[in-house]
Amino acid sequence: MDQPLILGIESSCDETAAAVIRGRILLSDEIISSASVQAKFGGVVPEIASRAHSDAVDEVVTRALNAANVRKEELDAVAVTYGAGLLGALLVGLSFAKGLAYGLQIPLIGVDHIRGHLAAGYLENEALTPPFITLLASGGHTAILFTKTETEFEVLGGTLDDAAGEAFDKVARVLGLPYPGGPQVEKLAREGKNVIPMPKMLKGMGGYDFSYSGLKTHIINYVHTKEQKGEAWSRADVAASFQSAALDILAEKTVEAAKERHIGTVTAGGGVIANGYLREKLQHACEKAGLKLILPAKKHCTDNAAMIAAEGLIQYRAGNFSPLSLNACASIPLR
């Protein structure tokens, strides 16, 4: 049977993206980002994001079709992020996708953005099949999952408060770093040392839970105390110490979960997985435990449309199509 040709569209935050896949083979992967505009405001301004998506969506889809060397009439389905995210931003991609699906008389597949992040590993390894343990770490979620099938997972544990990406963004602000904070903290941490004592992360009852709120408060207090006393402190050391406290635990607990469940493969997804320090930690911990690690390429960890097309393929094969009345959702529970 021919592999389906699917167009993926993503517009949940500040990246307008489109990608084409044939089966699990990625044919094109285009992105137009408004991050540099948003940086002037220190974060994503929803209205600016929506307008930027409106300006970019037609162009990014055209680019994706051209780069894949396919005509839109050849598409078998259009997959699009319908949530979670900024409503106005989501509606731009969703409306565009609906128009395309209706015009071409092909199925529309509404994709949960987080499920898209979780599907990014499939782009990396065509033969990847569940079961595996998945570390999810993005701006809104941090959790360890037991992925049972392509469509079913169990949440083994997760953050009790802030998400890892959110903690990176907040610490970036304290350190006076521009938006987006995660990559900036990582860059600064390379110049520093992990020498500042950090509190042990709160471990919940379930064993795979963690908390970032206390860590963030500790950093804020450390910086304020140093400044009030007029004492010298190193921004790079704070970045390095925070990064290690925030990420070591993710690598440790992910491997712990794989061992406990006797699962030989680990995957990961979400913006924080683009962090080089975390990637090395995971690599090292998995190697030591004899586990196979499949990490999506860095560009498929942060928001992109290839992962939306990859999740679209899963839903296509499961026959899960969406009505043209599908609405955008600001939040979707992890399920």
Considering the complex, what minimum distance in angstroms separates the CB of residue 240 from ligand KG4?
Answer: 13
Q: Is 93 in the site for ligand KG4 (CB under 6 A)?
A: no
* Distances, alpha carbon 218 to alpha carbons 1, 221, 239, in Å: 57, 5, 13
**Is residue 175 at the binding interface for ligand KG4, with CB under 6 A as the rule?**
no
Output phi, psi for 170, to 5 deg.
Answer: -70, -40
Instruction: Indicate which single residue of 28, 147, 241, 275 sits in contact with ligand KG4 (rule: CB under 6 A).
Output: 275
Print the SS3 string covering the chain: CCCCEEEEEECCCCEEEEEEEECCEEEEEEEEECHHHHHCCCCCCHHHHHHHHHHHHHHHHHHHHHHHCCCHHHCCEEEEEEECCCHHHHHHHHHHHHHHHHHHCCCEEEEEHHHHHHHHHHHHCCCCCCCEEEEEECCCCEEEEEECCCCCEEEEEEECCCCHHHHHHHHHHHCCCCCCHHHHHHHHHCCCCCCCCCCCCCCCCCCCCECCHHHHHHHHHHHHHHHHHCCCCCHHHHHHHHHHHHHHHHHHHHHHHHHHHCCCEEEEECHHHHCHHHHHHHHHHHHHHCCEEECCCHHHCCCCCHHHHHHHHHHHHCCCCECCCCCCECCCCCC
Q: How many residues bind ligand KG4 (CB under 6 A)?
A: 21
Q: By CB under 6 A, is residue 272 in contact with ligand KG4?
A: yes
As a whole number of angstroms, the distance between CA 20 and CA 26 comes to 6
- Contact present, 209 and 143 (Cβ < 8 Å): no
Pick from 121, 158, 181, 312: which binds ligand KG4 (CB under 6 A)? 181
Query: Least distance in Å: CB of 148 to ligand KG4?
Result: 23
Q: Is 139 in the site for ligand KG4 (CB under 6 A)?
A: yes
Site string for Zn ion, 269-308 (x = CB under 5 A): ----------------------------------x-----
Q: Tell me if 168 contacts ligand KG4 by CB under 6 A.
A: yes
Residue in the structure block whose two tokens are 């960890």: 301
Is residue 112 involved in binding Zn ion (CB under 5 A)? no
Partner interacting with residue 110 (select from ligand KG4, Zn ion, none; CB below 5-8 Å by kind):
none
182 is an interface residue for ligand KG4 by CB under 6 A: yes
Q: Which of 210, 303, 308, 313 binds ligand KG4 (CB under 6 A)?
A: 303
Shortest separation between residue 156's beta carbon and ligand KG4, angstroms: 20
Q: Select 157 or 180, whichever has its Cβ closest to ligand KG4.
A: 180
Strands 77-83 and 108-112: parallel
- In the region spanning residues 123 to 162, those forming contacts with Zn ion, defined by CB under 5 A, are 138
Q: Determine, following the binding rule CB under 6 A, whether residue 165 of this chain makes contact with ligand KG4.
A: yes
82 near ligand KG4, rule: CB under 6 A: no
Based on the shown chain and the rule CB under 6 A, indicate whether residue 183 belongs to the binding site for ligand KG4: yes
Q: Is residue 10 a contact point for ligand KG4 (CB under 6 A)? A: no
Residue span binding ligand KG4 (CB under 6 A) among the ranges 56-64, 161-169, 213-221, 253-261:
161-169
Can you tell me which of 180, 192, 296, 312 binds ligand KG4, judged by CB under 6 A? 180
For the bound state, the minimum distance from the C-beta of residue 324 to ligand KG4, rounded and expressed in Å, comes to 25
Q: Which residues are at the interface with Zn ion (CB under 5 A)?
A: 138, 303
Q: Which residues are at the interface with ligand KG4 (CB under 6 A)?
A: 113, 117, 138-140, 165-166, 168-169, 180-183, 186, 270-272, 274-275, 302-303
